[in-house]
């Protein structure tokens, strides 16, 4: 009888281990992502179960992989947390250093925008989470706005939000300047304007040249492309990728830093078959070894006066149209046109240093 009782206890233990989503009859939060490609985008961000615990902590569920490009797109000093999720049984493939990875159907790219110095108490606030979802017909956008309680983010894509919106915030910069701004939350058409290539929506930052850097994952530091391979998300990648750098890294040459900055902030529009195809410059990292592509001694498409005719006037940032546009907040003159409403001081300073370092003489 005692032997039967012990066997019964073992069966109970075994059964409870296999059903690890329940503890003492109480269902615990699953780490499995909820994704039905025919039903997405869901009305609420929480429905996907991309994150475990409190939603606002953005703690990724199993197989939701964080990533960070070498240089980050400037969005009015917003901080970002980025993740990739892919369904079982599929992998991305390498398609070139400067081309986004070729992601399979079902892939979701997740990017949340937040500030951790919201005034008056330096609090953290997430404003939006953007998803790009790869369907069989191509990529779609899903924009989620967070509530003030930071408990949920609700889908606004496809609603009366078509023209986008703004949210007034006050935050502190790294230099302790206090900034009050109307943070712009883009409409679907504005997302498409920057993410358009060959008249199709495409991702921007997930290129091998941007991901061929180390990331501090929980418990280890590893190359991001290798991590994708290890997680079964990427078939392989070459060892000789020509990679961008962190534009903040002052140990790197100023020209490499600027080229990396322009690539992540400007190249998606200033390339062939993209939004600014008609412009005179090409700003992809792979193309800016040619100074003409960067606008050096090139007449601007729209000169701004006798002292602002060339995109880059070597040795003189005050006579360079690119410098003027990066310094402007006027929607008719600023560049980039979308994604910012205030001036990126660090980006402007980097451009200024590079221009003033040039000693060419224009014909």
Say if CB 208 and CB 241 are below 8 A apart. Answer: yes
Instruction: Using the Cα atoms of residue 115, residue 116, residue 122 and residue 127 in order, give the sign of their dihedral.
Output: positive
Q: CA 218 to CA 206: how far, in whole Å?
A: 21
Q: CA 231 to CA 56: how far, in whole Å?
A: 25
Radius of gyration of the chain (CA): 24
Helix axes 345-357, 254-266, angle to 10 degrees: 130
**Other C-beta atoms lying within 10 Å of the C-beta of residue 55:** 20
Q: CA 28 to CA 332: how far, in whole Å?
A: 53
Q: In sequence order, which ranges of the chain are alpha helices (DSSP H)? A: 2-18, 188-194, 208-211, 224-230, 254-266, 321-327, 345-357
Which range among 223-227, 258-262, 337-341, 345-349 shows the weakest confidence by mean pLDDT? 337-341
Q: Closest Cα to residue 109, out of 176, 25, 204?
A: 204
The model's confidence at residue 144, banded by pLDDT at 50, 70 and 90, is very high
Q: CA 85 to CA 132: how far, in whole Å?
A: 11
Query: What is the maximum alpha-carbon separation in the chain?
Result: 101
Q: Give the start-to-end residue ranges of the domains of the chain.
A: 28-243, 245-363
pLDDT for residue 279 is more than 80: no
Q: Render the burial of 73-107: b for 16+ CB within 10 Å, e for the rest.
A: bbbbbbeebbbbbbeeeebbebeebbbbbebeebb
Q: What is the pLDDT of residue 240?
A: 96
How far are the Cα atoms of 21, 74, 207 from residue 101, in angstroms, in the given order?
34, 22, 6
Query: Three-state DSSP class for 143?
Result: strand
* pTM (predicted TM-score): 0.87
For residues 184-193, give the mean pLDDT: 77
94-134: pLDDT as tens digits = 999 999 999 999 999 999 999 999 999 999 999 999 999 99
Q: CA 297 to CA 23: how far, in whole Å?
A: 69
Task: Give the phi and the psi of residue 290 in degrees, each rounded to 5.
Answer: -90, 115
The model's confidence at residue 198, banded by pLDDT at 50, 70 and 90, is low
Please provide the average confidence, as pLDDT, over all residues in the chain: 87
Q: CA 95 to CA 80: how far, in whole Å?
A: 26
Query: Three-state DSSP class for 312?
Result: strand
Strands 22-23 and 26-27: antiparallel
Q: What is the pLDDT of residue 31?
A: 52
């Amino acid at each position: 009888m005692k032997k039967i009782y012990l066997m019964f206890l073992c069966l109970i233990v075994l059964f409870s281990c296999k059903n690890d989503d329940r503890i003492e009859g109480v269902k615990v939060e699953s780490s499995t992502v909820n994704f039905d490609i025919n039903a997405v985008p869901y009305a609420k961000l929480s429905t996907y179960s991309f994150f475990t615990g409190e939603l606002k902590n953005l703690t990724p569920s199993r197989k939701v992989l964080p990533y960070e490009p070498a240089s980050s797109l400037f969005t009015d000093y917003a901080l970002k947390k980025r993740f990739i999720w892919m369904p079982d049984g599929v992998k991305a493939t390498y398609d070139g250093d400067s081309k986004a990875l070729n992601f399979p159907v079902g892939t979701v790219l997740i990017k949340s925008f937040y500030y951790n110095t919201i005034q008056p108490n330096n609090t953290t606030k997430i404003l939006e989470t953007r998803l790009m979802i790869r369907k069989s017909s191509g990529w779609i956008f899903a924009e989620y706005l967070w509530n003030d309680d930071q408990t949920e983010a609700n889908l606004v894509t496809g609603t009366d939000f078509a023209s986008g919106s703004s949210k007034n915030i006050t935050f502190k910069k790294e230099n302790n300047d206090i900034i009050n701004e109307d943070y712009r939350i883009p409409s679907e058409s504005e997302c498409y304007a920057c993410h358009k290539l060959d008249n199709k929506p495409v991702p921007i930052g997930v290129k091998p040249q941007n991901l061929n850097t180390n990331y501090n994952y929980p418990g280890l530091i590893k190359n991001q492309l290798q991590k994708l391979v290890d997680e079964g998300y990427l078939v392989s990648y070459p060892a000789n990728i020509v990679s961008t750098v962190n534009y903040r890294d002052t140990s790197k040459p100023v020209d490499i830093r600027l080229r990396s900055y322009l690539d992540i902030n400007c190249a998606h529009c200033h390339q062939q078959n993209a939004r600014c195809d008609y412009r005179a410059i090409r700003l992809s990292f792979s193309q800016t070894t040619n100074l003409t592509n960067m606008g050096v001694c090139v007449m601007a498409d729209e000169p701004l006066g006798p002292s602002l005719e060339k995109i880059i006037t070597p040795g003189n940032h005050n006579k360079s149209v690119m410098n003027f546009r990066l310094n402007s907040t006027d929607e008719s003159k600023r560049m980039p046109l979308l994604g910012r409403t205030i001036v990126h001081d660090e980006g402007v300073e980097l451009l200024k240093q590079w221009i003033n370092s040039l000693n060419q003489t224009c014909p």
